[in-house]
Structure 1
Amino acid sequence: MGLLQRLEMRQGQALVMTPQLLQAIKLLQLSHLDLAAYVDAELERNPLLERAEVEEPRGEAPAPAEEFGGDGDGDGGEPSAEPWLAQDLNPSRGEIESDLGTRLDNVFPDEGPAAREAPGGDSLSLTPAPWGNAGGSFDGEAPDFEATLTAESSLRDHLAGQLDLATRDPVERLVGGFLIDAIDEAGYLREDPATVAERLGVGLDLVGRVLGLVQGFDPSGVGGRDLAECLSIQLRERDRFDPAMQALVSRLDLVAKRDLAALRKLCGVDDEDLADMLAELRQLDPKPGRAFGSGPVEVLVPDVFVRPAPDGSWLVELNSEALPRVLVNQSYYATVARGAKSDTDKAFLSECLQTANWLTRSLEQRARTILKVASEIVRQQDGFFLNGVAHLRPLNLKTVADAIGMHESTVSRVTSNKSIGTSRGTFEMKYFFTAAIPGAAGAAAHSSEAVRHRIKQLIDGEADDVLSDDALVQRLRHEGVDIARRTVAKYRESLRIPSSIERRRERAALAR
C-alpha cells in the first residue's frame, strides 16, 4: 500500500464567530456597571461616538415597557427607540436673556457690577462672598459646602491617631503602623506577629509589646487574632477575666452548641452563675471594628422594574438609569471624511464608523433581549409578585428559552449580573430560577426556594415543642411536599438555623 500526496477541495458548513458577534455576546452578560465602564472606554477610543444626554419630560415613562395581564398571558412588545434619542435641552445665555426680558447681570448680581476686568483679560471679582472665601472661589459664587464637610474617620485613621499619642519611639511607631495596616475591617489582626517581626527585621518581643499597646486602643477588643482573644481583651478592661470566665472563653464551641452541662463542669459554677456569665458574654462586641464602617455601601440598582398597572396587569420596564446612551456623530464623520486624504485615515474612519454603528445596535438589542426575558420571568412567576415567596414555581432556563424562542445560553447570559426591582424588593434574575421538588401523592412540584421559606416559617412558629428535621419532613409531606430528611437539613443549614438540639438548649438557657 503506497502513500500519495494530493490536494483536495471540500465544501462544508461552519459557524464563524465574528468580532462583532463576540462583542454582542460580551455586552449581553455584562452588568450595568461593567457596561458603563466598557462604553466609557469606547467613547475615549472612538471619536465618532458621543454620549447622548436625555432629559425625560415630567410625567412620562422613562423607559420602554411591556405590559400583560395579571393571569400571566400576554405578548411581549419591543421597547421604543426613545432611550437612544437625544435632544439639546440646554438653552443658551442669549435665549435666557430673551425669555426673561433682562440681562443676566441683573438676575445674578455676582456676575454683574462686581466683576472687573483684570489686566490679562480675566474677570476678577472684587465683591466678597457672604460667607467669606471658604470654598476657595474668587468668582463671587457661593462656597462649595461639600468642601467643608468632614470625612468619616476610618478604623485605621482612628488607631493611627492613638498610636501617635501612645509612643514617641520611631521604631515602635513603625511596628505599630504595620500592625494597624494588618487589622481588617472587623478589628482582627490578620498577620502573624512572627511574620511581622521577620519582615521588619525586629525582635518578636518588640512586636508583642507593640501589639499589646495596640490592643489597648479604642475600640475595646481591637487587634485580637481570633474571637477568643477579642473577647478576652474586652473582659480584661472590665476587670471580669477571672478563671471561670477564662475557661468559658476558651471553649466558645461549647457556647455555640449551648452545651450548658459541659460548661458548668468546665467552669466549676452553678446554673445561676453560668447564666450571668453567658449574659455578660453577650454584651461584648465580637466585631469591634464594624462601628467605623466598611466603606461605602453599594446599592443594587435593578436593570428592570416591575410594577402593577391600574387594570391589574403587570408593567415591565427597563431602568433608564442603567442604560448607557450613545450616538454616532454622522455630521462629524462626514466633515472629517471629506478632509481625509491618505488610505490609512480613510480606513481608520471606516473602522470607527463600523464599530460605532455596531455598538449602538448591540446596546439596543441588549435592552430588547433583557426586556423580553424579564417579561417572560414575570409571566412565569406571577404568583410570586402577587402573593410572595411561598408561591414561587419551579423554573429553569430551558422553559424561558423555549417560550421566547431563544437559545438557553442566551437566557443564561441575560440573567447573569441582572436584577429586577419589585414592590417586594430587588432580586437577581437568577433568584427566580429554582429547582423542582416533587409533590406528594402526585401533587404538583414545588419550588425549592418556596420550600426553604416554608421551613423557616415552621421553625419561626415553634411554640413549646421544638421541631426536629424528621418532624419538619412530616409537616411538609402533609402539605404535599415529598422531601427527604437530608434535604431539610441542607435547607435549614443554608438558612443558618441551628439544629433542634441546639435550639432546645438555647430555649432552656433563656428560660433560666
Structure 2
Amino acid sequence: MQLVHRQTQGQSLVMTSVMQQAIALLQLSNTDLQRYIEKEAEENPFIDVNGRHRALPSLPYSGNGPAEQDDPISRIENHPLSLYGHVAAQLDILFPNPADRAMADRFLEALDPNGWLVDPLDRIAADCGLELEAAEEMLHTVQQVEPAGLFARNLAECLALQAEDQGLMTPLFRKVLDNLPRLAAADLSGLARVCGCGLDDLRGPLKQLRSLNPKPGADFSGNDVSEREPDLIVTRGETGWVVELNRSTLPAVEVDETLLASKLTDPAARSYVGERLGVARWLRRAVEHRNQTTLSVGAEIVRRQVAFLEKGLGHIAPMKLADVAQAVGVHESTVSRVTTGILMVTPHGTLGLKRFFSTALPGETEGDEAASAAAVRYKIQKMIAAEDPRNPLSDDAIAKAVSAGGPVLARRTVAKYRDMLNIPSSFQRKRQGKLNAF
C-alpha cells in the first residue's frame, strides 16, 4: 500500500446564494413576487416597487364574473361570520355565568369545521373538572345552538338533533336512525324488516332524512381567503391566440441611482451604497428574467394547446416538460419551477400550468393520434356524469368505450383514473342511485 498525490482539473456547477435566489424567483407567482420585492424594498433604500400604491384594475375571470378592487372596509362588512364566531355569540347568551361560559369554551375548542364534536366527552369532562353526568347535561345545552346538529358526536346524533328541531322525529324515524349501517348498504328490505314496516312506509322517512345536513358546520365561512388573481391571460387575437402577463399584479423593480457610491467620501458609506446598489440591480435583472421566462413558457404551452383553447378540457394535448424546455431553450427543471403555482386564464377557466402536462396514451393503431391522460380522465368523468344511476358503467365498460374511439385503456387504468377523480366504484354508485331513487 502507498499514498499517491494526484492533481487534476475539472468543472462543476456551484450553487451560489445568488443563483439559489434567482431559481427561487422562478417559482413565485405574481402575488408572491410582489411580497418578496416589497420585503426587499424595506431593507434596501435603492429598490422601489413600481406602482406599489396604484389601484389595480379589475380583471374579468372566466366563469366567475369580474374581479372587484379590494376594499378592506366592505370586505369586513360583507364577510360572513365564521362557525366559531357564530357559536361563541350564542354561548354568551346560553351561559351568562362566567364559570359555565369558560367550560362551554372547552366544548367549542372540540368543534371541528363540519360541526361535530371531535374530542370524547369523558376527556372534555376531565378538562372541565366535571362528572360525566354533568358534562352530558352541558352537552345537551350547547347542542341547543343554531343550526341544529352542531356538537353531535356521530352521524345518528347529528341527524336526530335536526329531526327533533324540525319536528320530524317519529318512532319509525328513530328506528331508521338506529339502523343507518343497513341504509348505507342500501339494504332496504332488511331495514324495513328491522323497523317492522313495509317498503312503502320507508319512503317518507328516507325523503326527510335526505333533507337533513350531515355537516351543519360546513356552510359557514372559514378563513378569509380571497381568490388569487392569475399570472397569465390568454385571449384570441387577430392572428391567433395571444398570451400576456397579468399587468395588474405584475411588479416591476426600479432602482434609484441618484446617490452613487463614487460621490461619497466616507469609505464605509461608499461600501454600503455600492453593495446595496449591486443587490438592487441584480434584483431588477432577476425579475425581468423571471417575467420573460414565464411568458415564454406560457406562450409555448398555448401554442401546443390550441385544441384545448378552442374545444375544451377533453382536447388537452399530451405534453412533457422536456418538450417545452427544448422549444424555449431552457433546462427541463426551469420549466418545472416556472409552472409551479402559476395560474393562467383561459376561455375554459383559470388553470394551473401544471394541469397541461400529461403523458400520451397510445391509440389502437400506429397511425392514431395519441391522446393525453388528462383528456381521457375528463372523458371518463363526463361518461360517468351522464350514466344511468340505476345501471352505472363498470370500469370494464368504460375501458371498452374509450378504447373504441381513442387510446387503448385497460380496466385497471380506468380504476386508477377514477380514484384520482374521487369517483366511487360502479357498485357504490349503483347503491347510491338506488337510495336516491327510492
Residue of structure 2 aligned with 1:450, choices 368, 375, 382: 375
CA distance in structure 2 between the aligned counterparts of 1:452 and 1:181, rounded to whole angstroms: 41
Deviation at 1:195, TM superposition (A): 2.9
Matched residue count: 421
SS at match of 1:191: coil
Pairing 1:490–2:427 present: no
Residue of structure 2 aligned with 1:346, choices 254, 270, 277: 270
Percent identity at matched positions? Answer: 38
Whichever residue aligns with residue 198 of structure 1, its letter is: A
Deviation at 1:354, TM superposition (A): 1.1
Deviation at 1:252, TM superposition (A): 4.1
Residue of structure 2 aligned with 1:462, choices 387, 393, 400: 387
Contact 1:185-1:289 at 8 Å conserved across structures: yes
1:182-229 alpha-carbon deviations (Å, 9 max, x no partner): 323322223333333333444443333222211111111111233332
CA distance in structure 2 between the aligned counterparts of 1:433 and 1:206, rounded to whole angstroms: 58
SS at match of 2:427: helix
Higher alpha-carbon deviation: 451-460 or 247-256? 247-256
Alignment of 1:57-456 (within 5 A): 149=77, 152-242=80-170, 244-311=172-239, 313-331=240-258, 333-334=259-260, 338-339=263-264, 341-343=266-268, 345-442=269-366, 443-456=368-381
CA distance in structure 2 between the aligned counterparts of 1:299 and 1:417, rounded to whole angstroms: 13
Change (3 A) 1:471 1:346: same
1:145-200 alpha-carbon deviations (Å, 9 max, x no partner): 86995764332232222222223333221110222233233222233333333334
1:132 corresponds in structure 2 to none
2:48 corresponds in structure 1 to 50
Whichever residue aligns with residue 403 of structure 2, its letter is: R
Deviation at 1:429, TM superposition (A): 0.4
1:319-359 alpha-carbon deviations (Å, 9 max, x no partner): 0123112211001x32x76345143x332222211111111
Whichever residue aligns with residue 190 of structure 1, its letter is: V
CA distance in structure 2 between the aligned counterparts of 1:13 and 1:428, rounded to whole angstroms: 37
1:69-110 alpha-carbon deviations (Å, 9 max, x no partner): xxxxxxxxxxxxxxxxxxxxxxxxxxxxxxxxxxxxxxxxxx
CA distance in structure 2 between the aligned counterparts of 1:321 and 1:147, rounded to whole angstroms: 20
Change (3 A) 1:257 1:425: farther
Contact 1:307-1:314 at 8 Å conserved across structures: yes
Contact 2:27-2:338 at 8 Å conserved across structures: yes
TM-score for the superposition, normalised by structure 2: 0.87
Deviation at 1:233, TM superposition (A): 1.5
2:406 corresponds in structure 1 to 480
Deviation at 1:410, TM superposition (A): 0.4
Change (3 A) 1:348 1:308: same
Contact 2:150-2:216 at 8 Å conserved across structures: yes
Q: CA RMSD in A?
A: 2.9
Contact 2:395-2:426 at 8 Å conserved across structures: yes
Deviation at 1:465, TM superposition (A): 4.8
Deviation at 1:481, TM superposition (A): 2.3
Change (3 A) 1:162 1:366: same
TM-score for the superposition, normalised by structure 1: 0.75
CA distance in structure 2 between the aligned counterparts of 1:314 and 1:433, rounded to whole angstroms: 19
Deviation at 1:262, TM superposition (A): 3.7
Larger Rg, first or second structure (1 or 2): 1
CA distance in structure 1 between the aligned counterparts of 2:178 and 2:302, rounded to whole angstroms: 52
Contact 1:259-1:505 at 8 Å conserved across structures: no
Deviation at 1:20, TM superposition (A): 1.4
Contact 1:258-1:502 at 8 Å conserved across structures: no
Whichever residue aligns with residue 297 of structure 2, its letter is: V
SS at match of 2:234: strand
SS at match of 2:254: strand
Contact 2:113-2:218 at 8 Å conserved across structures: yes
Whichever residue aligns with residue 280 of structure 1, its letter is: Q
CA distance in structure 1 between the aligned counterparts of 2:285 and 2:402, rounded to whole angstroms: 50
CA distance in structure 2 between the aligned counterparts of 1:245 and 1:44, rounded to whole angstroms: 64
SS at match of 2:233: strand
Change (3 A) 1:466 1:291: closer
1:19 corresponds in structure 2 to 17
Change (3 A) 1:191 1:405: same
CA distance in structure 2 between the aligned counterparts of 1:179 and 1:394, rounded to whole angstroms: 52
Please list every run of 5 or more consecutive structure 2 residues that lacks an aligned counterpart in the other structure.
60-71
Higher alpha-carbon deviation: 187-196 or 444-453? 187-196
Change (3 A) 1:184 1:350: same
Change (3 A) 1:372 1:146: closer
SS at match of 2:350: strand
Contact 1:197-1:207 at 8 Å conserved across structures: yes
CA distance in structure 2 between the aligned counterparts of 1:411 and 1:472, rounded to whole angstroms: 34
CA distance in structure 2 between the aligned counterparts of 1:337 and 1:199, rounded to whole angstroms: 68
Whichever residue aligns with residue 474 of structure 1, its letter is: K
Higher alpha-carbon deviation: 376-385 or 217-226? 217-226
CA distance in structure 2 between the aligned counterparts of 1:150 and 1:370, rounded to whole angstroms: 36
